[in-house]
Amino acid sequence: METELKPIEWKNHKLVLLDQTRLPNEMVYEEFETAESIWDAIKVMKVRGAPAIGVTAAYGLYLGIRDATENSFEDFWKELKKVSDFLASSRPTAVNLFWALERMEKTAIANNHLDVSELKNVLLKEAIKIHKEDEITNRKIGENALTLLHDGIGILTHCNAGALATTKYGTATAPMYLAKEKGWNFKVYADETRPRLQGSALTALELQLAGIDVTIITDNMAATVMSQRKVNAVIVGADRIAANGDVANKIGTLGLSILANYYNIPFYVAAPTSTIDMKTKTGKDIPIEERDPEEVINRFGQYTALKNSKVYNPAFDVTPHENVTAIITEKGIIREPYEKNLKDLFEESKIG
């Protein structure tokens, strides 16, 4: 098995995605050339994780307008907006999807004086820029996060906020890759993350391939490892952070934050500023995706409950900002009062 996983690649004028639904057993790379197939890849989670969805959607938008025949900007814009709105309907929670599409739209508007063919090239360049920036951003998140950690630490993480959820390093896992580079001795506990098992199938896989000491636990074992003092910090990613610091992330994150607070363990959220949605006031305003009940009751083609069972399957939950020790971004570490400090960060960094 290859040791460096490449979740997203732009190659020979096509988008190549590592099909994450087949991990950890098979490494299958699939090529994409249409917005429709990319919409489907996001929906069925061949590609998943907030930053990775954003990067994929940016390429998807380019692929959706690449063969457009419109000559005037006005007609081209109508087509572009149609493709953008379509891609935006693939998944509702991770704000990076909307952030990347908006950035592509703004790029089109800023270059509306160009020939449509030149404009298409500018849009491809912007998608590639979004892709490349993600790697740099994650490394910076890792460097900032490392200042809060120490050699010998035990870290618990949930879902996959790893390299597979981004383009490299991940967000929650970025300090782990950097700690490994520094030769630190540390242990990671990866929650299995029911129902789709991103923790065991993806996080444990990528950390193991990187030679990082990772132990899988089922979600209901988190309290035990915390009570046994095996964990000194919890680090998770985020799908959307509201302006007041409330964090939407993979279902189960809220429970972990409550446990971490009970056991006095710092609870960190590692995310790029593109995951912070200043237009969403609080966690209550974040749309939470509900997924197919089959994810809960059908495991690997076998029912584990009666087929007609009633099932509730929210894919994300919201952790109130009171439970978050710090939000680690590429631009710095943010603490309470989140509303003020996030506002200052956006104003000082001139984001948005």
Ligand X SMILES: CSC[C@@H](O)[C@@H](O)C(=O)COP(=O)(O)O
Contacts with ligand X by CB under 6 A lie at: 48-51, 94, 159, 161, 165-166, 170-171, 198, 237-239, 249-250, 315
Q: Which is nearer to ligand X, 157 or 244 (CB)?
A: 157
- Displacement of CA 325 from its chain's centroid (Å): 20
50 is in an annotated binding site: yes
Q: Cβ closer to ligand X: 165 or 327?
A: 165
250 marked among binding-site residues? yes
Exposure string (b/e) for 70-107, b if CB count within 10 Å is 16 or more? eeebeebbeebeebbebbbebbbbbbbbbbbbebbbeb
Supply the minimum distance, in Å, between the C-beta of residue 262 and ligand X. 22
What's the closest the beta carbon of residue 173 comes to ligand X, in angstroms?
Answer: 8
Strand-pairing partners, residue 233, are 155
Catalytic residue (one of 134, 191, 239, 246): 239
- For the record, the structure tokens of 6 come out as 């490449």
Instruction: Give Dmax (Cα) for the chain.
Output: 66
Q: Is 238 annotated as a binding residue?
A: no
| CA 314 – CA 92 distance, rounded (Å) | 12
Any binding-site annotation on 198? yes
Based on the residue annotation, tell me whether 239 is a catalytic residue of this protein: yes
What interhelical angle do 73-88 and 116-146 show, nearest 10?
40
Residue among 55 and 153 whose Cβ is closer to ligand X: 55
- Write down the least CB distance from residue 248 to ligand X, Å: 8
* DSSP symbols for 310-332: ----BSEEEE-GGG-SEEEETTE
Minimum gap (Å) between residue 121 Cβ and ligand X:
29
> Does the annotation place 20 within a ligand binding site?
no
Q: Minimal CA–CA distance to 165: which of 7, 3, 348, 332?
A: 7
The amino acid that residue 21 corresponds to is: T
Which of these, 238, 235, 222, 231, lies nearest to 264 by C-alpha position? Answer: 231
Find out whether 237 is annotated in a ligand binding site: no
Q: How far is the CB of 161 from ligand X (least distance, A)?
A: 4
Whole-angstrom Cα distance, residue 347 to residue 305?
A: 51
Pick between residue 109 and residue 136 the one whose CB is nearest to ligand X: 136
Angle at 79 between CA 291 and CA 113, to 5 degrees: 130
Q: Does residue 249 have a known ligand-binding role?
A: yes
Nearer to ligand X, 65 or 165 (CB): 165
Q: What is the number of the residue whose Cβ is closest to ligand X?
A: 237
As annotated, the active-site residues are: 239
Q: Which residue ranges make up the annotated binding site for substrate?
A: 48-50, 91, 198, 249-250
Q: Which residue ranges make up the annotated binding site?
A: 48-50, 91, 198, 249-250
